């Protein structure tokens, strides 16, 4: 769905179909706010998979969900905070990380997870992102990267590959994108991984590792946005985008993130790039 801002219970999809009935039970029910479902995401969107992997990873990690807080910014991914049955904060655009920083430092017993999109975390929130990574702040940051602004209708993002089309680069992007994994690693993150939503089990494993890693852990989740990125770039369905990820992705653990740029039509290097031991912010405070 293309939307500026939407009702909490949308009645109709953009294509005019009625929404599917909500199934009476889901294995993740205890971690979801059932009274907020159905969610607002489009069919074929990768966000459901990303959220599902996160919840599975959370269970696997053994962390007590009552001591986990999820903080989001604004955008399609920003809505994650609204669906999890945990303490959850939907903050302003780009500001999830500093909000999460305050939350974590005021109550270090909490596991604080930032779950947001590429535009939110890296464009308007870019300064906060690099500084939290520099501090090795004790946060897990999950960035769903769909290469576009979804919530506002498909505009150019700082991740949009050169030549890719969006509503504000209708003839192709004439700009360089960020390589998020490289940015996180260069800024000081202790843990950096990248997967697509096709790599469900590997993504889940990385998310679990990230949740248990002291310091700044970063997981980039490449995710289809068929409604907007797909429509502008000749991959009209979620399935086509997943097929593209399958064809293009190469697993390369320990790869140098500098070599992992994402280009239009090029290889997508995925894997765990960084997992280093260095004192986290909280550890440093102990002196």
Partner 1 sequence: MTTTGALQGEYFISGDEACAEAGISAGCRFFAGYPITPATEIAERMAERMPDVGGVYIQMEDELASMNAVLGAAWGGAKAMTATSGPGFSLMMENLGLGIMTETPCVLVNVQRGGPSTGLPTLVGQGDMMQARWGSHGPYEIIALCPSSPQEMFDLTIEAFNLSEKYRTPVLLMADEAVGHMTERVTIPPVESLKLYPRRKPTVPPEQYRPFEGEANGVPAMACAGEGYHLHVTGLTHDERGYPATSSADAQARLIRRLIAKIRDNRADIIRTESKWLEDAEVIVVAYGISARIALWPIEMARAEGLRVGWLKLITAWPFAEDLIRELAARVKAFVVPEINYGQIALEVERCAAGKARTLLVPHAGGDVHEPHVILEAIRGAAGR
Q: Which residues bind ligand SF4 (CB under 6 A)?
A: 1, 41-42, 45, 47, 76, 146, 150, 225-228
CB burial of 85-103 (b: ≥16 within 10 Å; e: otherwise) equals bbbbbbbebbbbbbbbbeb
Nearest distance in Å: CB 251, partner 1: 34
Measured in whole angstroms, the distance separating CA 38 from the mean position of its chain's CA atoms is 20
Of partner 1, ligand SF4, none, which one does residue 5 interact with (CB within 5 to 8 Å by kind)?
partner 1
Of ligand SF4, partner 1, none, which one does residue 236 interact with (CB within 5 to 8 Å by kind)?
none
Of partner 1, ligand SF4, none, which one does residue 150 interact with (CB within 5 to 8 Å by kind)?
ligand SF4
Q: Give which of 215, 163, 214, 225 is closest to 188, Cα–Cα.
A: 215
Of partner 1, ligand SF4, none, which one does residue 101 interact with (CB within 5 to 8 Å by kind)?
partner 1
Nearer to ligand SF4, 120 or 209 (CB): 120
φ, ψ of residue 117 in degrees (nearest 5): -95, 175
DSSP tag of 168 = T
Nearer to ligand SF4, 161 or 226 (CB): 226
Nearest distance in Å: CB 114, ligand SF4: 17
CB 144 within 8 A of CB 50: yes
Nearest distance in Å: CB 5, ligand SF4: 13
Nearer to ligand SF4, 41 or 99 (CB): 41
Nearest distance in Å: CB 75, ligand SF4: 8
Rounded-to-5 percentages of helix, strand, coil across the chain: 35, 20, 45
Nearest distance in Å: CB 256, ligand SF4: 29
Nearest distance in Å: CB 142, partner 1: 17
Longest dimension (CA), the chain: 60
Nearer to partner 1, 151 or 268 (CB): 151
Nearer to partner 1, 85 or 141 (CB): 85
Pairing outcome for strands 148-149 and 87-90? unpaired
Place of tokens 């009274």: 35
Q: Cis link prior to 38 (omega < 30° from 0)?
A: yes
Nearest distance in Å: CB 247, partner 1: 38
Nearest distance in Å: CB 150, ligand SF4: 3
Please give the residue ranges that form the binding site for partner 1 (CB under 8 A).
5-8, 33, 35-36, 66-67, 69, 71, 81-82, 85-92, 94-95, 97-107, 109-110, 127-128, 131
Nearer to ligand SF4, 229 or 273 (CB): 229
Rounded-to-integer distance, Cα 113 and Cα 117, Å: 13
The torsion angle over the Cα atoms of residues 198, 201, 202 and 205, rounded to 10 degrees, is: 140
DSSP tag of 88 = E
Q: Give which of 236, 235, 205 is closest to 219, Cα–Cα.
A: 205
Nearer to partner 1, 107 or 259 (CB): 107
Rounded-to-integer distance, Cα 227 and Cα 174, Å: 22
Of partner 1, ligand SF4, none, which one does residue 227 interact with (CB within 5 to 8 Å by kind)?
ligand SF4
CB 144 within 8 A of CB 46: yes
Tokens at 137, concatenated: 């702040």
């Amino acid at each position: 769905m293309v939307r500026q801002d939407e009702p909490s219970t949308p009645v109709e999809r953009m294509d005019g179909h009625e929404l599917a009935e909500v199934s009476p039970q889901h294995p993740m029910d205890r971690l979801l706010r059932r009274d907020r479902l159905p969610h607002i995401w489009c069919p074929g969107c990768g966000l459901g998979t990303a959220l599902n992997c996160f919840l599975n990873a959370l269970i696997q990690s053994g962390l007590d969900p009552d001591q986990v807080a999820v903080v989001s910014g604004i955008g399609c991914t920003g809505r994650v905070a609204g669906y999890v049955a945990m303490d959850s904060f939907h903050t302003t655009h780009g500001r999830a990380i500093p909000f999460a920083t305050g939350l974590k430092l005021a109550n270090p017993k909490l596991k604080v997870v930032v779950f947001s999109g590429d535009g939110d975390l890296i464009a308007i929130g870019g300064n906060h992102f690099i500084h939290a990574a520099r501090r090795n702040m004790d946060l897990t940051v999950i960035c769903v990267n769909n290469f576009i602004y979804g919530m506002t209708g498909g505009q150019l993002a700082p991740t949009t590959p050169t030549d890719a089309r969006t509503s504000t680069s209708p003839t192709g992007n004439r700009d360089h994108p960020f390589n998020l994994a490289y940015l996180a690693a260069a800024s000081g993150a202790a843990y950096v991984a990248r997967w697509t939503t096709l790599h469900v089990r590997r993504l889940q494993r990385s998310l679990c590792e990230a949740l248990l890693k002291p310091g700044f852990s970063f997981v980039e989740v490449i995710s289809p946005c068929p409604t907007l990125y797909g429509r502008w770039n000749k991959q009209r369905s979620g399935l086509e985008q997943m097929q593209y990820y399958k064809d293009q992705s190469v697993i390369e653990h320990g790869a140098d993130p500098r070599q992992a740029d994402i280009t239009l039509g090029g290889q997508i290097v995925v894997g765990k790039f960084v997992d280093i031991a260095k004192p986290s912010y909280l550890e440093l405070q102990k002196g």
